[in-house]
Structure 1
Amino acid sequence: MSAPPVCTNCGRERTADDFNYSPAQVILGRAIGWYSGDDGEICGQCMEKIIRGELLDGGDRK
Protein backbone atom coordinates (compact mmCIF):
# COMPACT_ATOMS: atom_id res chain seq x y z
CA MET A 1 0.00 0.00 0.00
CA SER A 2 1.38 3.42 -0.92
CA ALA A 3 1.78 6.33 1.47
CA PRO A 4 -1.09 8.85 1.59
CA PRO A 5 -0.68 12.18 -0.22
CA VAL A 6 0.97 14.92 1.85
CA CYS A 7 0.23 18.66 1.66
CA THR A 8 3.17 20.42 0.02
CA ASN A 9 2.62 23.48 2.24
CA CYS A 10 2.10 22.16 5.77
CA GLY A 11 3.03 18.46 5.54
CA ARG A 12 -0.38 17.18 6.69
CA GLU A 13 -1.31 13.70 5.41
CA ARG A 14 -4.57 13.25 3.55
CA THR A 15 -7.09 11.01 5.33
CA ALA A 16 -10.04 9.01 4.03
CA ASP A 17 -12.34 11.76 5.41
CA ASP A 18 -10.76 14.53 3.29
CA PHE A 19 -12.89 15.44 0.28
CA ASN A 20 -11.76 16.86 -3.07
CA TYR A 21 -11.55 20.58 -3.86
CA SER A 22 -14.14 22.16 -6.12
CA PRO A 23 -14.38 25.86 -7.11
CA ALA A 24 -18.08 25.68 -6.20
CA GLN A 25 -17.04 25.30 -2.54
CA VAL A 26 -15.52 28.79 -2.68
CA ILE A 27 -18.48 30.34 -4.52
CA LEU A 28 -21.00 28.82 -2.11
CA GLY A 29 -18.95 29.53 1.03
CA ARG A 30 -18.56 25.86 1.93
CA ALA A 31 -15.60 24.07 3.48
CA ILE A 32 -12.65 23.82 1.09
CA GLY A 33 -11.55 20.36 -0.02
CA TRP A 34 -8.17 18.82 -0.82
CA TYR A 35 -6.47 19.86 -4.07
CA SER A 36 -4.53 17.23 -6.02
CA GLY A 37 -2.72 18.18 -9.19
CA ASP A 38 0.41 17.76 -11.25
CA ASP A 39 1.89 20.63 -9.27
CA GLY A 40 1.35 18.98 -5.87
CA GLU A 41 -1.11 18.30 -3.08
CA ILE A 42 -2.68 21.02 -0.93
CA CYS A 43 -4.96 20.39 2.06
CA GLY A 44 -8.22 22.27 2.52
CA GLN A 45 -6.84 24.48 5.29
CA CYS A 46 -3.91 25.62 3.14
CA MET A 47 -6.22 26.08 0.12
CA GLU A 48 -8.35 28.43 2.21
CA LYS A 49 -5.25 30.42 3.23
CA ILE A 50 -4.11 30.63 -0.40
CA ILE A 51 -7.54 31.86 -1.52
CA ARG A 52 -7.55 34.49 1.25
CA GLY A 53 -4.05 35.61 0.27
CA GLU A 54 -2.53 34.52 3.58
CA LEU A 55 -0.27 31.86 2.07
CA LEU A 56 1.42 33.24 -1.00
CA ASP A 57 4.78 31.57 -1.50
CA GLY A 58 4.63 28.24 0.35
CA GLY A 59 5.40 29.95 3.65
CA ASP A 60 2.82 30.56 6.34
CA ARG A 61 2.19 34.28 6.98
CA LYS A 62 0.40 34.16 10.34
Structure 2
Amino acid sequence: MSVFSALRCLLNQHKPKRREVTWDGRTYVGHCRHCGIAIERRRRGSWRKREDQARRQEEAPTPT
Protein backbone atom coordinates (compact mmCIF):
# COMPACT_ATOMS: atom_id res chain seq x y z
CA MET A 1 0.00 0.00 0.00
CA SER A 2 1.39 3.39 -0.93
CA VAL A 3 1.59 6.33 1.44
CA PHE A 4 -1.17 8.12 -0.45
CA SER A 5 -3.48 5.09 -0.27
CA ALA A 6 -2.93 4.82 3.48
CA LEU A 7 -3.65 8.53 3.90
CA ARG A 8 -6.88 8.27 1.89
CA CYS A 9 -8.01 5.33 4.05
CA LEU A 10 -7.26 7.31 7.21
CA LEU A 11 -9.42 10.13 5.80
CA ASN A 12 -12.25 7.62 5.08
CA GLN A 13 -11.87 7.88 1.29
CA HIS A 14 -11.66 4.25 0.25
CA LYS A 15 -11.44 2.49 -3.14
CA PRO A 16 -13.37 -0.77 -3.63
CA LYS A 17 -12.18 -4.12 -4.94
CA ARG A 18 -14.38 -3.75 -8.01
CA ARG A 19 -14.85 -7.45 -8.72
CA GLU A 20 -16.22 -8.00 -5.22
CA VAL A 21 -18.76 -5.14 -5.10
CA THR A 22 -22.35 -6.30 -4.66
CA TRP A 23 -25.80 -4.76 -4.30
CA ASP A 24 -27.43 -5.46 -0.91
CA GLY A 25 -30.87 -4.10 -1.79
CA ARG A 26 -30.09 -0.66 -0.39
CA THR A 27 -26.63 0.29 -1.65
CA TYR A 28 -23.46 -1.10 -3.19
CA VAL A 29 -21.13 -2.72 -0.66
CA GLY A 30 -17.65 -4.17 -0.80
CA HIS A 31 -14.21 -4.02 0.77
CA CYS A 32 -11.44 -1.45 0.37
CA ARG A 33 -8.68 -2.63 -1.95
CA HIS A 34 -6.02 -1.01 0.25
CA CYS A 35 -7.03 -1.61 3.88
CA GLY A 36 -9.72 -4.33 3.50
CA ILE A 37 -12.37 -2.58 5.63
CA ALA A 38 -16.08 -3.03 4.77
CA ILE A 39 -17.26 -0.02 2.73
CA GLU A 40 -20.43 1.21 1.04
CA ARG A 41 -21.05 3.61 -1.83
CA ARG A 42 -22.64 6.86 -0.68
CA ARG A 43 -22.85 8.35 -4.15
CA ARG A 44 -21.10 7.72 -7.43
CA GLY A 45 -17.36 7.59 -6.78
CA SER A 46 -17.73 8.15 -3.02
CA TRP A 47 -16.97 5.09 -0.89
CA ARG A 48 -17.04 5.32 2.90
CA LYS A 49 -16.67 2.96 5.86
CA ARG A 50 -19.80 0.85 6.21
CA GLU A 51 -21.97 1.72 9.17
CA ASP A 52 -23.10 -0.92 11.64
CA GLN A 53 -26.45 -2.48 10.67
CA ALA A 54 -27.89 -2.08 14.19
CA ARG A 55 -27.13 1.63 14.25
CA ARG A 56 -28.75 2.02 10.83
CA GLN A 57 -31.92 0.38 12.14
CA GLU A 58 -32.04 2.79 15.10
CA GLU A 59 -31.61 5.85 12.87
CA ALA A 60 -34.22 4.75 10.33
CA PRO A 61 -37.54 6.53 10.60
CA THR A 62 -40.29 4.40 12.08
CA PRO A 63 -43.59 4.14 10.20
CA THR A 64 -46.56 5.67 12.02
Q: Taking structure 1 as the reference length, what is the TM-score of the superposition?
A: 0.27
Q: Which has the larger radius of gyration?
A: 2
Alignment TM-score, normalising by the size of structure 2: 0.27
Higher strand share: 2
